[in-house]
Amino acid sequence: MDGIATGNGRFGILAEFAPESVVTGPGSTAVVSYTLTNIGDTADEIALTIDAPAGWQAELLRYGQPITSLTLPALPFNEAQLPLLVTPDVAAVGGTYPVTVTAQSLANGGIQATAVVMVEVSERGVTVEISPANQTIDPNAPTSWNVTVTNRGSVADSYALSPTGVPALAGTLPEQTGTLAPGASQTVQLSVPPLPFLVSGPYRFAVIAQSVGDAQVRAQGAAQFAVPDSPAVQVAWFSPSRTVTDTLSLSLGLVVTNTGNLLTEYELDLTGTGLTAVSTLNPVPLPARSAVFLQVLVQADDFGEYLLTATAVDGDDGATANDTTTLTFVASENPPENVAPTVDAGADVA
């Protein structure tokens, strides 16, 4: 539906589903693309309302999050494609049902657009549950989840299984369930090896079950796990010892490695009796699992042997590490004579 708001620009909304009909089953989820277009010449905030049968779940997503409104500019970038997820009730009776999305302009109450998708509930259906649904894991140890698949249809069926997210990269899961009678369940295990490369934070994943009898019927169970902060650091001199001759200054290489799983800033402390040492970078910010090579300039008070210790400290989490190098400043046995310079004062003047 399109219209004009006098004095405020032209407002208009266009909405459509593609495809206009889908097949799913009791407890299973169908995904259909919903396209919303601002055909006016003014940016507009649009409210979105979904009408579905009682007991059904239906939601529009944007960037993976449910939404009930959005703002669309005028040309260009005046279109949004949103997935609509529709899940019939587990007790839904076979048949075809309408699901309606109404888009309403919030700037002009007379402007709205309605789109309808027809959802066919088949005799096949499935649900998936993951346990535990939320946990904190040790990334340096194996982890596992129980995945329960239930036949929600009215005929026997089996289901192909596939994980998403991090478990899809490294996890093991049976490729398919056995044949399940209507209402029957099977629990399988999703196993994941140690994942030391993960940085700290939350991670979401899902397991998808797809009907072998009808690939249009599928469902997924979602879960979340968290990797706790694990600060750690290593410090290493490029050379464990160094000897220089006839100089009291030198340049050293130092490697600082963030072996933890979070972004960290380290304070670098350089200590050595009789030495003055300065790093080219201090403090040292490092992303997780990364390293930096630093140049350290050293000045000795006199010839002799010295110990220089570099210590990196994470002021927030307390992680610390150090390394010591031995420095020897040697004077030559036969140093060049220190002869007073000859100055040419010019010709004698009588």
Residue 318 pLDDT: 82
Q: Looking at the structure, do residues 17 and 111 belong to the same domain, yes or no?
A: yes
Write out pLDDT tens, residues 246-261: 999 999 999 999 999 9
Domain with 269 in it: 233-330
Domain termination site, one of 227, 253, 278: 227
222 and 287 housed in the same domain: no
Same domain, 34 and 112: yes
Burial 207-228 (b: 16+ CB within 10 A, else e): bbbbbebbeebbbbbebebebe
**Domain C-terminal end among 195, 227, 259:** 227
Look at residue 251 and tell me if it is in a domain.
yes
| Dist. CA 85–CA 123, nearest whole Å | 19
Domain match, 148 and 103 both: no
Average predicted confidence (pLDDT) for the chain: 92
Q: Do residues 107 and 36 both lie within one domain?
A: yes
- Beta-strand (E) ranges in 152-288? 159-163, 185-192, 201-211, 218-227, 233-237, 241-245, 249-258, 264-271, 275-279, 284-286
Asked if residue 145 and residue 117 are part of one domain, the reply reads no
pLDDT in tens, 274-304: 999 999 999 999 999 999 999 999 999 999 9
Q: Are residues 15 and 94 in the same domain?
A: yes
Structural domain contains residue 343: no
Residues 223 and 169 in one domain: yes
Q: Is residue 104 pLDDT above 60, yes or no?
A: yes
Q: 131-147 pLDDT, tens per residue?
A: 999 999 999 999 999 99
pLDDT in tens, 47-74: 999 999 999 999 999 998 999 999 999 9
pLDDT tens string 14-51:
999 999 999 999 999 999 999 999 999 999 999 999 99
207 near 176, Cβ under 8 Å? no
Q: Is residue 17 part of a domain?
A: yes
Domain tally, the chain: 3
- Would 339 be classed as within a structural domain? no
| DSSP string over 91-104 | TPPSEEEEEEEEEE
CATH number at residue 222: 2.60.40.10
Residues 85 and 131 in one domain: no
Q: Does residue 249 sit within a domain?
A: yes
- Whether 202 and 262 share a structural domain: no
**Alpha-carbon torsion (192, 196, 202, 204), positive or negative:** negative
Q: Is residue 83 assigned to a domain?
A: yes
The answer to whether residues 219 and 240 belong to one domain is no
User: Do 115 and 133 sit in the same domain of this protein?
Assistant: no
Which of 121, 154, 187 represents a domain boundary (last residue)?
A: 121
- Note whether residue 239 is domain-resident: yes
Take residue 89 and report the two structure tokens written for it.
Answer: 């009730």
Residue 340 belongs to a domain: no
Q: What is the pTM of this model?
A: 0.76
